[in-house]
Structure formats: structure tokens, C-alpha cells
Amino acid sequence: MKTQLTTNLFSQLICSNCGDIFSGFLLNTISTCCNKPLLANYHLDQYLPKELIKVNDHSMWRYFSLLPIADKQNIVSLKEGGTPIISLDKLAANNDITSVLMKDEAFNPTGSFKARGISAAVSKAKELGIDRLIIPTAGNAGGALAAYCAKANMQCIVVMPEHTPTIFKNECRLLGAELILVKGLIDSCAKKVQEIQQSKNYFDVSTLKEPYRLEGKKTMGYEIAEQLDWALPDVIVYPAGGGTGLIGIWKALQEMLKLGWIKGPLPKMIAVQSENCAPLAMAAHHRSNWKENFLARPTIANGLAVPFPFGMELMLNVIESSGGQVITVSEQEIIEAIKDVSRTEGVLLCPEGAAAWKAIELLAKYKKISSENKVLFLNTASGHKYLESIKNYL
Ligand SMILES: *Cc1c(COP(=O)(O)O)cnc(C)c1O
Ligand SMILES: [Zn+2]
């Protein structure tokens, strides 16, 4: 008989600012003490040998013990996660880096890593008896929510900027969501969501205003460690929008340290943004007053167009405590990177993934990463979803 890793170690939610405790089995959104994101906590002092995971399935739910769902019956899955890590040897050699690894999130359902967070959020919503969900999105999260709501027989409203490429809109419509288009960026969509949510009684699954998308995204951290045989890269490069992946991967690393699954030193966490919308870069330099003169424009990397991320402080903490930094790249550089990588390695990156690769190229050029470093970046979606966006630059 196979041993199954079925114990669940989820304990409670805590305020990311002051540590106050909230129930993970009642409906909670943000901390009512400080109005900050809530983080899921686990009983990590319990003995949980990492070898046990090997018998579980190959979706992100193989880490069920470390995910916030009490009853496996509530899992809503389309087999998200378990994405490959690919070695980009030619790019590494051309840039004099020992190893460039890419975790290719294009392999997820709905073609982006948003599937991970949304699978966790929809599963938890089911566990809590919620069946009407609403989301502000720059594109990919809306498609993912529409898909998982269809699977779970839930009602779904997606609010998206009207300038978003058609493919993201049609994806939501095909998957049965109600689509609402709004002028502006995702922050304008979030305001619209606030209105609708109150009048129509829909539950808002905005990034970090709902505690569980982060938990789905953190599984990238577990997978990176497990797939690299628990020997972490020196640098992880992440294209950051709302920041769940950046915060989530770091959270997973901290959890694995406590579980004794990995040893330090931990990788430097590098966040990459588009010059058109780089609130992290602004905030890193002007921590208290960055919002005053902040201007954001749309970018071809629509996943990065998040002008006022709710998880700003958590992101800055990850970057600082890991010894990382923020890098910005131009639209031109993103497009060049898509072309370079597709011609060199045969992978069609999404613009967000291309931005991450470009950042590595810049870091290598200015000797900010040494030639011995093992570097890993995330290609966060399939480039095929962006063929329409890039057609004018071919
Ligand atoms: C949402 C998104 C991002 C940014 O992810 P966050 O976790 O919100 O920082 C990056 N790339 C793509 C393709 C996305 O859809
Ligand atoms: Zn608090």
C-alpha cells in the first residue's frame, strides 16, 4: 500500500503587520487590526519528511499538507503546477553565466501561473461555502478564475481594463464569466469591484485581499526546491505585479527551512518590472512618499501593470531580506528579449517572462551576478497568449 501525505498542517491566519490571529476556517479577507494582508500559518514543528511527497500526484496539490484546505474533497483542480524547469544553455553560454534555468509556467491550465493561486482560492471558497466570485485583473487572473469557477459550478465576474488584448476577454467569455470592461489600469478595476461586490454580494478574490491565492503561488517555491533536488539556485528572478509569486516563493523557502527540507543560504530575490509601471522601483527609493508623483502607463507585459500593489511592503521585505533588488526594463527591451529567446532557445516567452530574462542579461552585463551563479527565472505565462499583442513589432 502507498503511504499518502494526507495530514494537513494549516493552523490559522495571521496579520502580516502585527501577528494577530484570525481563523482560517471562517470567512476572512484582510486583517481588521491593521488593514494588511493575512498570511496562512502551518504547524511546521511537526515531523513531515519531504520524501513522503514523492508518492503524491504531480499537480501543486502534492503539497496538500502545506496548503490551506482541510478536506481534500474541496479541492478544485485542473492539474495546475508541476511545471518543468528547462535549462537554457545557449543563453547561459552567450552571457557567460554557469546556469540559466527557466521554470516554465506556460504549462499551467489557462496558460499562466495564475491557475495556481486561483485553484487554491476557489478550493478554499468552496470549503467556506462561497459560490460567487469577482476579480479585478490585468488579464490572466480573470481567465483562470473563469475556468475554475466553471469547474466548481460557481458564478464569476471578471473586471478588466478595456485596452486588454482581445484574447484575454474572449477567454473569460468562453469560460462562462460575466466580463466587465473599465477605463484605466487594474486599480480602476479594483474600484469597480468594490462597488459590485457590495451591491451584488460577490466575494472579492483580489491579490492579497484574499489570503489563499498566495498559498497556491507559493507552490512554485516548493517545486523549485524539489525539482532541483533541494539545492537552490543563487538568484531567482521574478516579474512582479501584485507580488504573490515573489512573496509566495519566499514564504515557501521560509517554511521549508523550518521543516528542515532545505538549508541556507537562500537565493537573492530579484523583482523585475516594466518601466511603464514600476511602483516597486519607486517605493524602493522613496519608501514613504512614492505614491505622490507616481504615474503608470499600460505595458505589453500586462501582468506587470499593477500601479498600487496591496502587498508592497511584503514585496520590499522579500527583496531586502534576501539581498535582492528591483530591475526595470523598457518595452523595447521586452520585445527584443522575446525575439532573442525564441530564436535562440525555441521558447516563446510571455512579455513578463521576457522582462525577467532581460533583467538577467543586464545583471550579467554589469557583473551584478557572477559567472558561477546559478540563476532561475520564471516564465509566468505562455507567449502564445500574446501573439496578438506583439504582432505590430515583428
Ligand atoms: C499576474 C502576472 C504576473 C505578476 O504576478 P504577481 O504574482 O501578481 O506579481 C506576471 N506575469 C504574468 C503573465 C501574470 O499574469
Ligand atoms: Zn495587525
On average, the pLDDT of the chain sits at 95
Ligand 1 centroid–CA 69 distance in Å is 23
What is the predicted pLDDT for the residue at 124? 98
Ligand 2 centroid–CA 36 distance in Å is 7
The dihedral over CA atoms of 342, 345, 350, 351, expressed in degrees to the nearest 10, equals -70
Task: Name the residue at shortest CA distance from atom 2 of ligand 1.
Answer: 303
Measuring CA to CA, which residue among 384, 371, 378, 328 is closest to residue 113?
378
Euclidean distance between CA atoms 135 and 27, whole angstroms: 17
- Give the HSE-up count for residue 73: Cα atoms under 13 Å, Cβ half-sphere: 4
Measuring CA to CA, which residue among 157, 161, 187, 162 is closest to residue 172?
157
Domains 85-111+213-393 and 114-204 share a fold: yes
Measuring CA to CA, which residue among 326, 284, 321 is closest to residue 304?
326
What confidence category does residue 2 fall into, taking pLDDT thresholds of 50, 70 and 90? very low
Query: pLDDT tens for residues 196-208?
Result: 988 999 999 999 9
Closest listed ligand to the CA of 389: 1
Closest listed ligand to the CA of 32: 2
Q: Is the CB of 112 under 6 A from ligand 1?
A: yes
Q: Is the CB of 5 under 6 A from ligand 1?
A: no
Task: Give percent of the chain above pLDDT 70.
Answer: 98
Task: Name the residue at shortest CA distance from atom 4 of ligand 1.
Answer: 241
Closest listed ligand to the CA of 168: 1
Strand order in the sheet with 203-204: 178-182, 155-161, 132-136, 203-204
What is the predicted pLDDT for the residue at 54? 77
CATH number of 85-111+213-393: 3.40.50.1100
Measuring CA to CA, which residue among 30, 1, 8 is closest to residue 212?
30
Task: Name the residue at shortest CA distance from atom 5 of ligand 1.
Answer: 241
Euclidean distance between CA atoms 66 and 62, whole angstroms: 9
Euclidean distance between CA atoms 39 and 60, whole angstroms: 19
Give the atom of ligand 1 at the shortest distance from the alpha carbon of 241: 9
Ligand 1 centroid–CA 238 distance in Å is 9
Task: Name the residue at shortest CA distance from atom 12 of ligand 1.
Answer: 303
List the chain domain ranges.
10-74, 85-111+213-393, 114-204
- Check if the beta carbon of residue 268 is closer than 8 Å to that of residue 232: no
Q: Is the CB of 240 under 6 A from ligand 1?
A: yes
Task: Name the residue at shortest CA distance from atom 1 of ligand 1.
Answer: 303
Give the atom of ligand 1 at the shortest distance from the alpha carbon of 353: 11
Q: Is the CB of 101 under 6 A from ligand 1?
A: no
Closest listed ligand to the CA of 39: 2
For residue 184 the three cell numbers come to 484605466
Q: Is the CB of 251 under 6 A from ligand 1?
A: no
Euclidean distance between CA atoms 319 and 312, whole angstroms: 11
Query: pLDDT tens for residues 31-66?
Result: 999 999 999 999 999 888 888 787 778 899 999 999
Query: pLDDT tens for residues 281-329?
Result: 999 989 889 998 899 999 999 999 999 999 999 999 999 999 999 999 9
What confidence category does residue 5 fall into, taking pLDDT thresholds of 50, 70 and 90? low
Q: Is the CB of 114 under 6 A from ligand 1?
A: yes
Q: Is the CB of 140 under 6 A from ligand 1?
A: yes
Q: Is the CB of 381 under 6 A from ligand 1?
A: yes
Ligand 2 centroid–CA 30 distance in Å is 9
Euclidean distance between CA atoms 107 and 60, whole angstroms: 12
Q: Is the CB of 379 under 6 A from ligand 1?
A: no
pLDDT of 3 strictly over 50: no
Ligand 2 centroid–CA 13 distance in Å is 11
Mean pLDDT of 79-91: 98
pLDDT of 376 strictly over 90: yes
Euclidean distance between CA atoms 99 and 296, whole angstroms: 34
Mean pLDDT of 153-179: 97
May I ask the CATH architecture of the domain 114-204? 3-Layer(aba) Sandwich (3.40)
Euclidean distance between CA atoms 38 and 18, whole angstroms: 10
Q: Is the CB of 154 under 6 A from ligand 1?
A: no
Closest listed ligand to the CA of 248: 1
Q: Is the CB of 36 under 6 A from ligand 1?
A: no
What is the predicted pLDDT for the residue at 6? 65
